[in-house]
Amino acid sequence: MDVDEEPEVIGIDLEIDKLAEKGEGPGLTEADEARLAALNDAKRDRQGLPVPRRREYEPGFAELAGRFLDLWATQYGLKASNTRPQKEATFRLFGGFIGDKPLRDVKRSEVADFMDELRRLNPNYGRSPKSQTMTWSEIIREHGGNAKGLSPQTMNRHIDTLSALWKWADQHELVDGRNPFAGFKQRIKAGVNQHPYLPWTAEELRTLFDPPPKRDDLTELMVAALHTGMRLDELASLTLGQIKQEDGIHFIDVRDAKTPAGDRAVPLHFRLRWMAELEGEPQDRVWPKFNPEGPGKKPGADAGRAFSAFKARKGFSDRTRVFHSFRKNVTQIMERAGVPENEWAQVLGHERNITYGLYNPEGITLLRKAQLIELIEYPGIDFPGR
């Protein structure tokens, strides 16, 4: 049987004729035109002819990025974090630059122009909620053109997000050809374009605490970080229910950490024993004045801003000295005391050596952890506190 005589093709022709008659009258609506295009494509497909790509019906960049994010969010075990807002910010920036054209039409030269402008953005441009409603032109006008802008790590995060979108779209045949986002990642070199966080010096710590912050909760948070090595989010989110006791040892039960190794018991240093005397409900936070923010409703961001502002007032602008540097101070103490890295990792929340993890999954005892915590001292520094 001739293809044009098949019932399916005959049925398609009848529908096309109906639309053609309608077009002779008041004309076709936008929906009619889309239906006519679909019928013609279906007929060509039945006839074994190539079906043309209709750009006017392809999803724009914003729609495609939204679909990608919705599917990304369904992955198993995904924790509430700032990762999705970061991806949304990347897509909002690139969408503002490129317009709502189909991803298929994005050119490599356009990506290069976008990266050149993005590289000169003020690193703090996104801290204001206002930035989320600003157009690309407004962002560039108000925050662009800096001699030193976004870090290589931040630039790489943006390009990784866009490249992942392209790879996903390629799997769904929504793009073709070379990935225009490939090849833009910067190589990170320690000491060149990567400057890791450094521990605070003794003199810098004296400056930070003389005088200390006006906010008692910020002061206590800093002291706690220096005597536990805990992360900012872990401390700012700390609840009374996490302060426990076992075999006469008070400790902080860290759970739901960034990694499995992050779930751990951190004994209370003698300067932090006041925490064990706090009264209230298990869900009450130790420092409730830091406002929960973001998808995970964590107060770390608010606490981080408070510390950054305090640090700036003290005259510290170096990006290598931040709240996370307190964690580096504790690690420095352990290294200088000759504590085996495998032991300290179990208090700090890092992955252990694979051999120890395999043959001694329970790790060191709580008593041993308490002994390590008591090694933490800062001679010559007068810490305020309870």
pLDDT for residue 55:
65
Query: To which H or E segment does residue 218 belong?
Result: helix 216-228
Using pLDDT thresholds of 50, 70 and 90, give the confidence band for residue 91. very high
Strands 264-267 and 243-246: unpaired
What does the mean pLDDT of the chain come to? 85
pLDDT for residue 357:
45
Between 307 and 5, the higher pLDDT residue? 307
Token pair, residue 104, equals: 């298929």
Cβ atoms of 224 and 344 closer than 8 Å: no
Using pLDDT thresholds of 50, 70 and 90, give the confidence band for residue 351. low
- Mean of the pLDDT values across residues 372-378? 95
pLDDT for residue 109:
95
pLDDT for residue 22:
72
pLDDT for residue 17:
77
Between 351 and 102, the higher pLDDT residue? 102
pLDDT for residue 23:
64
Q: Secondary structure of the chain in the HEC alphabet?
A: CCHHHCHHHHHHHHHHHHHHHHHHCCCCCHHHHHHHHHHHHHHHHHCCCCCCCCHHHCCCHHHHHHHHHHHHCCCCCCCCCCHHHHHHHHHHHHHHHHCCCCHHHCCHHHHHHHHHHHCCCCCCHHHCHHHHHCCHHHHHHHHCCCCCCCCHHHHHHHHHHHHHHHHHHHHCCCCCCCCCCCCCCCCCCECCCECCCCCCCHHHHHHHCCCCCCCHHHHHHHHHHHHHCCCHHHHHCCEHHHEEEECCEEEEEECCCCCHHHCEEEECCHHHHHHHHCCCCCCCECCCCCCCECCCCECHHHHHHHHHHHHHHCCCCCCCCCCCHHHHHHHHHHHHCCCCHHHHHHHHCCCCCHHHHHHCCCCCCHHHHHHHHCCCCCCCCCCCCC
pLDDT for residue 294:
64
Checking if the pLDDT of 356 tops 60, the result is: no
Q: What is the pLDDT of residues 288-334, one digit of tens each?
A: 999 987 656 789 889 999 999 999 999 998 888 899 999 999 999 99
